[in-house]
Structure 1
Amino acid sequence: MGQITSLFARKVAHAAGDAIDTKAVLASVGLDADGPADPTHMLDEDDYYSMIEMMAQQMDITPLPVIVGKAMRPDEYGALGLAWKAAPNLLGSFSRVERYWRLWTSVARYELRNTDEGYLFIEHRDGARRLGMRISIEADLVSGVSLGRQVSPRPFAPLAVYFRHSAPKTPEHHEAYFGCQVHFGADMDAMLMSHDAVSAPNLLGDEGITQFLVSHLDQELARIDDTPALQTRTKSEIARALSEGLPKMAQIARALGMSARSFHRRLAEQGLSFQTLTEETRREIATAMLREERYALSEIAFLTGYSEQSAFNRAFKRWMGVTPATYRKSLK
């Protein structure tokens, strides 16, 4: 199951304006409508698609991808957006997306392919073509054109746009914005750009800034490649929460950027359960702290989420077959 930046969810919800209940829509994916936008905060892709489908029950969603895509700004993408603007030309800008797409999504993969007709910017996305996915893909390609128009010194329009899914009831919105023919039911999700259009120097192209930003993005990418597995991340969040009491699944899910439903499903897909991971985390913390004489048993009980030491003693004996005091003596 992939993830996508919460920035997109906020953009989609706010673009709808008064046509939807923005607070309720964003709350459905664990976001505060009045809170700050954080592109690094990720959402489960199914939650994101469900949010869009929830909006479709409240409004005509057909023109929404165009509205959302038009509203995207390079600066909202952090270092990646700056690298987009500082690239020498649009070919460089789209090349940054091809390389660094994992910084804002694990849902899609982007490819820049040179052909005789021009450059194809292709979005690869697996899964059933549910409404939420279709709207998301359309908004992505509109965003690409919008961002291109913001940094190019000349009017920018693709030669053609392609979507694998069927046409919406009124495709005129898409064709008017793209300024070219839009092909639905195609064999790819992509836009074709002329060699000339992507070769013109960007307004703010700067090779020195580009090298600095690319170096930074490479470091960010390496960090993502080393992201710990779901089990490790879950236990880490549980450990952080235990001093305030036994955490609930919804609390840990929010910390990981997921809804409780999606979190439960992803754990189940890996043969894990929240209860088991919580017990393992408590046991591991307890056994580690018992090796340190400076921690009293009452402190260990508190830091592993037990309000009473007697409850901690019973749990520890269930885990290890002996009481905490006996276990500590055996370590000497």
Structure 2
Amino acid sequence: MGQVTSLFARKVVGVAGNAVDARAVLDSVGLDVDGPLDPKHMLDDDDYYGMIELMAEQMDITPLPLIVGEAMRTDEYGALGLAWKAAPNLLGSFSRVARYWRLWTSVTQYELMQTSRGMLFVQRREGLRRLGLRISVEATMASAVSLGRQVSPRPFSPIEVCFRHPAPRTIEHHEAYFGCPVFFGADRDAMLLSHQSLSEPNILGDEGITAFLVSHLDQELAQIDDTPALHTQTKGEIARALSEGLPKMGDIARRLGLSARSFHRRLAEHGLSFQTLTEETRREIATAMLQEERYSLSEIAFLTGYSEQSAFNRAFKRWMGVTPATYRKSLG
């Protein structure tokens, strides 16, 4: 079971106003309606999703994640929010999230991916796409856009936004909020950001403050659980095994000195899955090797665990939206 910051729960209930019984809804996850905003107070993710579903019994929650996103403020995220605000540009801000996401959640991973059309900000969250999880995913993406608009000197909108789950009854609220096309039923939860918008200097960017805050965040990151070790060790073992073909979870577990059952449980506790880590590893190795002309496409396919280059080409296009050859050309 993963955890999310109680900040999200309080904001979700707060923006709903009189449409829900705030005291009863917050009580369902053990929060006092009069308590303070504390991003370090964590909730079990299943409880949080259940709270959202309880709210859905009392109101139409279709636009709720967008209202939540709009209400988010950088200062409410503590040192991480300040680091976002003080970053030199939006690329720096989003990079902070990709590095320090574990400070406010253990169920979602964030990643920046270079593509031929711009930079993808990817939100990775495993689990059954129950209503509460879907609303949470949408609210998280809406929050990222809101925080971007608070620090950007120019109007900020993504090029496009994608969600893995089916569309709600109407998407007009989503397209109006994000200011771009919004696609549901996609292969990932992500938004595509232009290089121009990411390179614009932030209004309050300050390198000195950034250096101080990043140092503080690094200390906080070092104090929390062993997710980085498990995450890093697993991907390292997967990378070493790929040249022999697609590794099995049981084999990687044995390399880490764990039973398959214990390995699966520990991954799940941190919101990770073996399949996702394997895909991440293959993609990272492939994109890195494509920057080196000395590796042929067939060699890269072999070293990322594909027996046929055609299968590698299909997988790479699913990851990046372009073929390996096109991606390599775009780097030149």
TM over 0.5: yes
TM-score by length of 2: 0.68
Q: Which amino acid aligns with 2:41?
A: H
State the alpha-carbon separation in 1 of the partners of residues 162 and 63 from structure 2. 17
Matching of residues 161-310 of structure 1 within 5 Å: 161-225=161-225
Segments of structure 2 that go 5 or more residues without pairing to the other structure are 228-264, 267-332
Q: CA deviation at 1:226?
A: 5.6
Q: Which residue number corresponds to residue 282 of structure 1?
A: none
Corresponding residue number in structure 1 for 2:15: 15
CA distance in 2 between counterparts of 1:226 and 1:64 reads 34
Deviations 1:215-258 (A, max 9, x none): 0000000001369xxxxxxxxxxxxxxxxxxxxxxxxxxxxxxx
Q: Deviations over 1:10-60 (max 9, x none)?
A: 000111110000000000000000111111000000000000000000000
Q: What residue number does 1:25 align with?
A: 25
Cα distance in 2 for residues equivalent to 1:115 and 1:67: 30
Which amino acid is 2:107 matched to? Answer: V
Q: Distance in 2 between matches of 1:193 and 1:225?
A: 31
Q: Distance in 1 between matches of 2:188 and 2:35?
A: 36
User: Residue 116 of structure 2 corresponds to which residue in structure 1?
Assistant: 116
SS in 2 for 1:138: helix
Q: SS at 2:183's partner residue?
A: strand
Equivalence map 1:36-55=2 (5 Å): 36-55=36-55
Letter in 2 for 1:7: L
What is the distance in 2 between the residues matched to 1:52 and 1:200?
Answer: 36
Map 1:76-115 to 2 at 5 A: 76-115=76-115
- Alignment match, 1:69: 69
Q: Which residue of 2 aligns with 1:156?
A: 156
Q: Distance in 1 between matches of 2:64 and 2:220?
A: 31
- CA RMSD of superposed structures (Å): 1.2
Offset at 1:124? Answer: 0.3
Classify the secondary structure of the residue corresponding to 1:48: helix
Amino acid at match of 1:99: R
Aligned equivalents of 1:226, 1:195: Cα separation in 2: 34
1:288-331 CA-partner distances (Å, limit 9, x unpaired)? xxxxxxxxxxxxxxxxxxxxxxxxxxxxxxxxxxxxxxxxxxxx
1:35 aligns with 2:35: yes
Q: Which residue of structure 2 lines up, in the alignment, with residue 144 of structure 1?
A: 144
CA drift at 1:170: 1.4
Letter of the structure 2 residue corresponding to residue 139 of structure 1: A
Identify the residue that residue 239 of structure 2 maps to in structure 1: none
Q: Give the total of aligned pairs.
A: 229
TM-score (norm 1): 0.68
Shift of 1:116: 1.1
What corresponds to 1:300 in structure 2? none
Give the partner amino acid of 1:216.
H
CA apart distance, 1:175: 0.3
Cα deviation digits, residues 249-277 of structure 1 (max 9, x gap): xxxxxxxxxxxxxxxxxxxx89xxxxxxx
Higher-Rg member (1/2): 1
Once the 2 structures are TM-superposed, how far is the Cα of residue 97 of structure 1 from its aligned partner?
0.1
Separation in structure 2 between the aligned mates of residue 226 and residue 91 of structure 1, nearest angstrom: 27
